[in-house]
């Protein structure tokens, strides 16, 4: 009986490993457009978290149209949400270690300032 269970156990383990590999292969790496989209949303999130930025619905529409234009490629809503959530998680991780002074957070804030400068027609402060 024990001999029968070992091959079965190995088969199940092999099946689980193959499933994990297939799932990992199914997760696509972000394209350049998706990375741009995520990075700009990281900037918006960092501005809210670190600067207390508050936006009206009109502000959000302007920001979203600018972010989409900078990304340069259309994405479906589900992928947009994935990128936004990934950006939030990345900023949260950086802030958990070094607060708003983290390099990733400061870079995100620079992207936000650039985005707002483009949006308002004013150059970002250096």
What pLDDT, in 10s, does the model give residues 64-102?
999 999 999 889 999 999 999 999 999 999 999 999 999
125/27 Cα distance (integer angstroms): 38
Of the candidates 81, 92, 96, which has an alpha carbon nearest to the alpha carbon of residue 38? 81
What pLDDT, in 10s, does the model give residues 17-53?
544 444 444 468 989 999 999 999 999 999 999 999 9
- Asked whether the beta carbons of 84 and 38 are under 8 A apart, the reply is yes
95/46 Cα distance (integer angstroms): 9
Of the candidates 76, 67, 54, which has an alpha carbon nearest to the alpha carbon of residue 108? 67
Average pLDDT, the chain: 81
What pLDDT, in 10s, does the model give residues 86-95?
999 999 999 9
Query: What are the Cα distances from residue 100, in Å, to 6, 11, 69, 80, 82?
Result: 53, 49, 27, 25, 23
| pLDDT: which is higher, 124 or 35 | 35
């Amino acid at each position: 009986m024990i001999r029968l269970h070992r091959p079965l156990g190995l088969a199940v383990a092999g099946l689980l490993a193959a499933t994990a590999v297939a799932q990992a292969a199914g997760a696509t790496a972000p394209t350049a457009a998706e990375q741009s989209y995520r990075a700009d949303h990281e900037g918006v999130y960092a501005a809210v978290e670190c600067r207390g930025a508050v936006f009206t619905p009109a502000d959000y529409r302007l920001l979203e149209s600018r972010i989409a234009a900078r990304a340069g490629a259309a994405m479906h809503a589900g992928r947009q949400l994935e990128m936004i959530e990934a950006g939030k998680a990345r900023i949260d991780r950086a802030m958990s270690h070094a607060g708003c002074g983290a390099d990733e957070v400061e870079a995100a804030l620079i992207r936000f300032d650039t985005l707002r400068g483009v949006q308002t027609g004013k150059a970002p402060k250096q």
